[in-house]
Amino acid sequence: MNKVIITGPGNSGSGAILDFLNARNDTFDPFNTEEFRLVNDPGGISSLEHGFYDNFGINNSADVYSKFNKFCEKLIGFKNRNNENVYPENFEKIFIKFSKDILDISYNGLPRFQRFNLSLNEKIKFYILRIIFKKNLEDINMFKMVIPVEKIKFIQLANKFIDEIISSSKNYSENKIAIIDQALNIFDVNNQIKYFTDAKCILTIRDPIGTFYTISELKKNNIALAYQGLNVEKFVIWYAHIYKKIESINFDQKKVLVVKFEDFCLKHDEVTKEIFNFLNIKNLNSNFNIDNSLKNVEKIEEKINKKDLEYIKLHLNDFIKKY
């Protein structure tokens, strides 16, 4: 199953690329317009791998394993804005099997760090079981200590896990390409793409003026919750920090294509040919309307507060010249 992963820093125009590819008749969206963050969010597969292998310790592996399971439990009933389930009906069964398969052994325990994390109800439960019912700790199933399988097997199981989630989607079509939104950490794309079989990634970048405009518009509608605290001074620091990191990365050109949002809009035919060549797919007609994206590029400076615009031009001039 071929997959295309769309990613980018906040409000970089990746949504336009997503809409562009989803408008084709040879693609499908397995997650009902929602981002797939099971790999790259804290508590996800990447965090699990890090705690299991790169930062292994008995407590570390138990901690990341617990967080991963809690994360997956939250996704069982996760719905999009249309109140539709994002994950397939059998997701619980799929994740429980994966959760068991990635372990060599597990056993009940309760190390000190986890005792500090117990809720009041959990503390009461533990007290009743231990003090009143005189149960041994090994018989109290409150927290799992775990030893993982070998790393190579873990990656193989993660590949199978993600493939099974996607193929269980109501939107799944065997002969179509899965278009997946924000499934990779932009600063670790070269590494994290290994979790997806037969996958390529399109990473979008964007001019700071356009980025600030979109963040400002979303904030007005109380949508950009991750960016609510960004005023223009903080935005300048945020943008410079993010894009300097991106520029320092040597992306795997066989698997990652970097697309400038402004070029996608203003040089649409040229950039789309580049995308098609990268993905090895045919150019075909679709119902995608580039005019909607052009509104976020053309005459953009006129839509921003003059003082904010001057501040951005003063402090991010080098990035404006590049993008």
What pLDDT is stored for residue 137 in this prediction? 67
Neighbours of 124 (CB within 10 A): 11
pLDDT digits (tens, 9 = 90+) for 40-71: 999 999 999 999 999 999 999 999 999 999 99
Query: What residue type is 170 in one-letter code?
Result: K
Domain 1-29+172-323 sits in CATH 3.40.50.300: yes
What pLDDT is stored for residue 160 in this prediction? 98
Q: Which residues pair with 191 in a beta bridge?
A: none
pLDDT digits (tens, 9 = 90+) for 101-121: 999 999 998 888 888 887 888
pLDDT digits (tens, 9 = 90+) for 198-217: 999 999 999 999 999 998 88
Q: What's the whole-number mean pLDDT along residues 290-308? A: 87
Residue tagged 């769309």 (tokens): 6
Q: Which residues touch 303 (CB under 8 Å, ≥6 apart)?
A: 213
What pLDDT is stored for residue 224 in this prediction? 66
What pLDDT is stored for residue 274 in this prediction? 96
pLDDT digits (tens, 9 = 90+) for 81-99: 889 999 999 999 999 999 9
Q: What's the whole-number mean pLDDT along residues 151-175? A: 96
- pTM of the predicted model, to two decimals? 0.90
Half-sphere exposure of 34 (CA within 13 A, CB side): 18
Tell me which residue of 184, 142, 172 sits closest to 46, measured CA to CA: 184
Query: What residue type is 150 in one-letter code?
Result: E
Q: Under a CB-based contact definition with an 8 Å cutoff, are residues 34 and 6 in contact?
A: no
Residue ranges of domains in the chain: 1-29+172-323, 39-170
Q: What's the whole-number mean pLDDT along residues 130-144? A: 74
pLDDT over 70 (residue 250): yes
Given CA atoms 151, 153, 157, 159 in this order, what sign does their dihedral have? positive
What pLDDT is stored for residue 15 in this prediction? 93
Distance between CA atoms of 301 and 308, rounded to whole angstroms? 10
What pLDDT is stored for residue 133 in this prediction? 67
DSSP class of 79? B
Percent of the chain topping pLDDT 70: 97
